[in-house]
Amino acid sequence: MSIQNREAFLDKLASRLGRERRTSGVERPQWSVTPQDEVFKGMSQDELVDVLEKHCKVIHTTFKRTDRDGLAKVLNETLEAYEGKLIITSKDARYQEYGVTDFFEEQKEKLDVHVWDSALGKENQKIAERADVGIVFSDITLAESGTVTSFNTKDNGRSISLLPRTFIAIIPKSTLVPRMTQAARHIHQAQANGEDVPSYVSFITGPSNSADIEMNLIVGVHGPVKATYIVVD
Amino acid sequence: MSIKIGEIPYKERIQKGIKDDFMRQAVSSAQGRFRTGRLTQAEELGNWEDWRNLGEEIRTHTLENLDYYLQQLSEQVSRRGGHVFFAETAEEANQYVKEIILKKQAKKVVKAKSMVTEEIGLNKALEEVGAEVVESDLGEWILQLDEDPPSHIVTPALHKNKQQIRETFAKKKGYTGSDTPEELAAFAREQLRQDFLAADVGVTGCNFAIAESGSITLVTNEGNAEMVTALPDTVITVMGMERIVPTWEEMEVLVSLLTRAAVGQKLTSYITALTGARLDEEIDGPEEFHLVVVDNGRSKILGTEFQSALHCIRCAACINACPVYRHIGGHAYNSIYPGPIGAVITPLLEGYDDHKELPYASTLCAACTEACPVKIPLHEHLIRHRQIIVEKEKKAPTAEKLMMKGFAAWASNPSIYNMSAKMAKPALGPWTKDGMIENGPGPLKAWTEVRDFYAPQGQSFRSWFKQRQKDGESK
C-alpha cells in the first residue's frame, strides 16, 4: 500500500534533531523504573476475581460469579433482567465447551440467537444493531480496571460488543491478569515473534458513558447502556 | 477553524470569561472533580512519581528517535493494507483527505473527537467538497450544532449549561424533550446512531500510534470512536506526528497515565487498537484505511529548548490545576489548546504575533508542572516564552514598556523619587481602606482589578533608617 512524502518529511525531522536519519539500530532502552509490574504482583486468580468484583461497582457493571454447571442459570437470569430476546454472539468453540450452546438450544422457543457468520456479510451488523444483547467471551481480563479484552476476528465481529442495547461478557477465571500490562506484553511478544496482531483489539470497561453535559455521568451513550460480567470458575 | 478560534482581543476575552458566572462555576467544579480523581488514583498507586518518571523517559526516547519510529509505523501500516500520507502543512493534510472524499463520492463523514483535525480546520475543508461532517463525541456534537469552539481538551462543552444544550437541540434538531442530561443524551444517541450507520467515511484522531505493529489506539468513554472505525468502509486517521510510542508496552503505560491524569479513571470504557484495513472475511472495520501524519509546525519545536512540549499526551491535567484557567475559562486563550499547555504550544505552532499574551496568562505557581503526568516543565517554558517575547521579539505589552520607561526616569532622579515617595500616602488616601487599595486610579487600576494593592506607608525606609540612627546616637 502507498506511503507518500515520507523521505523529505523524516529527513527534515532528523535535521531538526541535529543528526543523520535513523532508519535502523534504535533499541528501546531499559527503563529506569517499571512500576506497572508491581500492581497486584503475585496475587492468586481468586484474589484477582475479588479485585475485579470490587471494581465492577465503579464501572457500573453487574458482577456475577458461577461455575460451568451454574452458567446457564446465571445467563438466563441476566437475559431476563435485560429483557433479551434477540441475542448476538461471537462464533467461538467455548460456547459449546461451557454448555452455552446447549442452553440456547433448550431456550430456542424464547430466544432468537444469532451467531456471527462471516458468510452473511453486512447482515451481521444489521442484526447486531437490532439485538437486545451482545455476548462475547473475554480473551484476557484485566482485574485492576475491570476490563474485558476481545481480539476481534472474522468470527468475533466488533459490532457484537458495540451495537446491541446491552452487553454480557463471559469471563473464564483463567483469563484474569493483574492489569493492562500483562495483556500489552502478551501482544508485544506475539508481534516480536512474527505473529500479527488482530486488525482490531478492544479493551472494554463496562458500558459506554459520558460526562459531557454539566459533568453529569450518563451511562449508555453510543454503545451499550448496561453490562454484566459473568466470571466462570 | 484553526488553532486560533476568534478575533476578539485578549482583554475582552478575559472580561467575557470573568463575567460568565455559569462557566466559572462549571469550570471550578470540574477542576475540583478532575483533580480529586487524579490525586486519588495517584495515592492509590502509591508510586505515582515512578509512573511519571517512566512516562517522561518514554516520551523523551520516542521524540529523540521520532524519524525512526515514524518510519517503522508507516512500514507496518502499509504492510497491514493501509495507506500513509505525511503532511507537512494543514493544507496538504486537508487536500489529501478531500481527494479521498471525492474519490469515494462520500456524502456523509462521521468523526470521533480529534484535536488535530480542529487544528487544521478539516471539517470546513470537507464541507467545501460537499460532504456532511458529523462530530460524534457528545460534547463535540453539541458544539458543532451551536457553531461554538471547544473550551477544554477533555470535556469540550464544559462552558455550556443544560438549558443552552436543550435550546440548541430544539432549534437545530427539533428536540421537544426536557433538559435532563439523560434525556438529552438519549436523544443524541438516537440521532447519531443513524449517522454512524449511514456514513461513507469515518475520521478519527489518534491517542497513540504503536510503531511496532502499525496500530492506532483510541481512548473514549462513549464508544463513538469504535462506531466510527467499525462501521464505515473507509476510515481516515489524522495524527499529530508526535503521538507515537515504540511498542504496545509503552502504549499501555501512557494510556494508564492518560486516563488517570485526565479523569481519574483506571481505564476509559473503550480503548481500541485498530491495525490497518480489515482482514479477509471480516465484516466490521474499513476495507480502506488511511493514516495522515501531520507536522503543521511541530518540527519547528524539535531540537529546541521547547522539545518537551511535544511530550504532551493531551490529558488536560495542567488545565484542571490552573488557577488562571479557573477564572477566565478556555475561550479566553483564543486557541483550541487552552490552559498552560495551550499557552506553551500555541505560540510555538503559530508564532507570537497573535498569541503573545498567552505566556502571561499564568501565575507561574507551577501547579501545572506538578500535575503533568509526563513531567513537562510547563511553567519554565512559560517563563522562557516571556523572556523571548521581551528580549528577542521586543513584543512586551505597550503598557508594560511605557511603565518600565517611566519607572526608569522616575527612579533615577533622587529629588523626584523622594518627593513622590513622600506624597504617595496622602495622594492615594482617598482610595485606601484598612491599609489596602481595592480600586486604584490610573496605572494602579489594572493591578487592582485583579488583586488588592498595599497602600504606601507614611514613612519611607530611608527616613525610618535616618531616624533610627539619630535615635541610636542620642542614646
Tell me the longest C-alpha to C-alpha distance in chain A.
71
Q: Chain A partners of B192 at a C-beta cutoff of 8 Å?
A: 222
Interface test with B, best of A2, A9, A186 (most B CBs within 10 A): A9
Tell whether A47 lies on the interface with B, counting CB pairs under 8 A. Answer: no
Residue of chain B minimizing CA distance to A121: B283
DSSP alpha helix (H) spans, chain A: 6-16, 45-58, 71-81, 93-97, 100-106, 123-130, 180-192
Q: Distance (Å, rounded) from C-alpha A99 to C-alpha A230?
A: 14
Check A9 against B295: CB less than 8 A apart: yes
Nearest C-alpha of chain B: how many angstroms from A164?
12
Q: Distance (Å, rounded) from C-alpha A3 to C-alpha B96?
A: 12
Check A191 against B212: CB less than 8 A apart: yes
Length of chain A: 233
Check B68 against A23: CB less than 8 A apart: yes
Q: What is the mean pLDDT of residues B243-270?
A: 97
Q: What is the mean pLDDT of residues B21-45?
A: 90
**Band of residue B459 on the pLDDT scale cut at 50, 70, 90:** confident
- A67: how many CB neighbours lie within 10 A of its CB? 11
Check A125 against B284: CB less than 8 A apart: yes
pLDDT digit string, tens, across residues B198-220? 999 999 999 999 999 999 999 99
Nearest residue, CB atoms, B267 vs list A17, A31, A147: A147
The per-residue pLDDT of chain B, averaged, comes to 92
Q: What is the mean pLDDT of residues B256-270?
A: 96
pLDDT of residue B356: 92
Strand partners, A136: A169
pLDDT of residue B425: 79
Q: Is the pLDDT of residue B137 over 80?
A: yes
Interface test with B, best of A210, A217, A219, A229 (most B CBs within 10 A): A210
User: Between residues B433 and B366, which one has the greater pLDDT?
Assistant: B366
Interface test with B, best of A158, A165, A179, A204 (most B CBs within 10 A): A158
**Band of residue B449 on the pLDDT scale cut at 50, 70, 90:** confident
Tell whether A73 lies on the interface with B, counting CB pairs under 8 A. Answer: no
pLDDT of residue B1: 53
Q: Distance (Å, rounded) from C-alpha A230 to C-alpha B6?
A: 51
Q: Is the pLDDT of residue B464 over 70?
A: yes
CA nearest to B255, candidates B198, B310, B206, B204: B206
Residue of chain A minimizing CA distance to B271: A203
Q: Which residues contact B314 (CB under 8 A, 6 or more apart)?
A: B115, B153, B207, B258
Q: Distance (Å, rounded) from C-alpha A45 to C-alpha A57?
A: 19
Q: What is the mean pLDDT of residues B187-202?
A: 96
Check B155 against A212: CB less than 8 A apart: yes
By DSSP bridging, strand A218-219 and strand A209-210 are antiparallel
Tell whether A19 lies on the interface with B, counting CB pairs under 8 A. Answer: no
Check A5 against B88: CB less than 8 A apart: yes
Check A206 against B269: CB less than 8 A apart: yes
Side chain identity at residue A130, one-letter code: R
Q: Distance (Å, rounded) from C-alpha A179 to C-alpha B378?
A: 31
**Band of residue B474 on the pLDDT scale cut at 50, 70, 90:** low
Q: What angle do CA B311, B210, A171 make, to 5 degrees?
A: 115
Can you give the pTM of this predicted structure? 0.91
In terms of C-beta density within 10 A (0-12 exposed, 13-18 middle, 19 or more buried), how is residue A29 classed?
exposed
Strand partners, B437: B432, B453
Check A5 against B192: CB less than 8 A apart: no
Distances (CA, A) of A42 to A37, A178, B265, B390, B467: 10, 9, 24, 56, 75
Do the Cβ atoms of B286 and B235 come closer than 8 Å? yes
DSSP letter for A6, please.
H
pLDDT in single tens digits along all 233 residues of chain A? 899 999 999 999 999 999 999 999 999 999 999 999 999 999 999 999 999 999 999 999 999 999 999 999 999 999 999 999 999 999 999 999 999 999 999 999 999 999 999 999 999 999 999 999 999 999 999 999 999 999 999 999 999 999 999 999 999 999 999 999 999 999 999 999 999 999 999 999 999 999 888 888 899 899 999 999 999 99
Q: Distance (Å, rounded) from C-alpha A134 to C-alpha A163?
A: 8
Angle between helices B248-263 and A180-192 (to 10 degrees): 150
Order across the sheet with A133-137: list the strands. Answer: A62-66, A226-232, A166-172, A133-137, A86-89, A112-115
Q: Chain B partners of A30 at a C-beta cutoff of 8 Å?
A: none
DSSP 3-state of A223: coil
Nearest residue, CB atoms, A222 vs list B189, B215, B246: B189
Do the Cβ atoms of B316 and B307 come closer than 8 Å? no
Q: What is the mean pLDDT of residues B411-435?
A: 80
Check A33 against B50: CB less than 8 A apart: yes
Q: Chain B partners of A124 at a C-beta cutoff of 8 Å?
A: 283
Nearest residue, CB atoms, A157 vs list B263, B279, B284: B284
In terms of C-beta density within 10 A (0-12 exposed, 13-18 middle, 19 or more buried), how is residue B184 classed?
buried
Nearest residue, CB atoms, B266 vs list A24, A145, A192: A145
CA nearest to A128, candidates A93, A98, A157, A92: A157
Tell whether A30 lies on the interface with B, counting CB pairs under 8 A. Answer: no
Q: Is the pLDDT of residue B36 over 60?
A: yes
Please state the three-class secondary structure of chain B as a single string.
Answer: CCCECCCCCHHHHHHHHHHCHHHHHHHHHHHHHHHHHHHHHHHHHCCHHHHHHHHHHHHHHHHHCHHHHHHHHHHHHHHCCEEEEEECCHHHHHHHHHHHHHHHCCCEEEECCCHHHHHHCHHHHHHHCCCEEEECCHHHHHHHHHCCCCCCCCCCCCCCCHHHHHHHHHHHHCCCCCCCHHHHHHHHHHHHHHHHHHCCEEEECCCEEECCCCEEEEEECCCHHHHHHHCCCEEEEEEECCCEECCHHHHHHHHHHHHHHHHCCCCCCEEEEEECCCCCCCCCCCCEEEEEEECCCHHHCCCCCCHHHHHCCCCCHHHHHCHHHHHHCHHHHCECCCHHHHHHHHHHHHCCCCCCCHHHCCCCCCHHHHHCCCCCCHHHHHHHHHHHHHHHCCCCCHHHHHHHHHHHHHHCCHHHHHHHHHHHHHHHHHHEECCEECCCCCCHHHHHHHCCEECCCCCCHHHHHHHHHHHHHHC
Residue of chain A minimizing CA distance to B184: A213
Nearest C-alpha of chain B: how many angstroms from A69?
30
Nearest C-alpha of chain B: how many angstroms from A232?
22
Check A222 against B222: CB less than 8 A apart: yes
Find residues 98-157 of chain B whose CB sits inside 8 Å of chain A: 136-139, 142, 155-157
pLDDT of residue A206: 96
Q: What is the mean pLDDT of residues B285-290?
A: 97
pLDDT digit string, tens, across residues B311-336? 999 999 999 999 999 999 999 999 99
Highest mean pLDDT among B26-40, B140-154, B242-256: B242-256
Nearest residue, CB atoms, B283 vs list A11, A121, A187: A121
Q: Chain A partners of B83 at a C-beta cutoff of 8 Å?
A: 1-4
Side chain identity at residue B367, one-letter code: A
Q: Is the pLDDT of residue B75 over 90?
A: yes
pLDDT of residue B125: 96
User: Of A211-225, B30-44, B72-86, B456-470, where does mean pLDDT reach its minimum?
Assistant: B456-470
Interface test with B, best of A37, A40, A160, A213 (most B CBs within 10 A): A213
Interface test with B, best of A117, A140, A199, A202 (most B CBs within 10 A): A199
Q: Is the pLDDT of residue B89 over 60?
A: yes
**Band of residue B454 on the pLDDT scale cut at 50, 70, 90:** confident
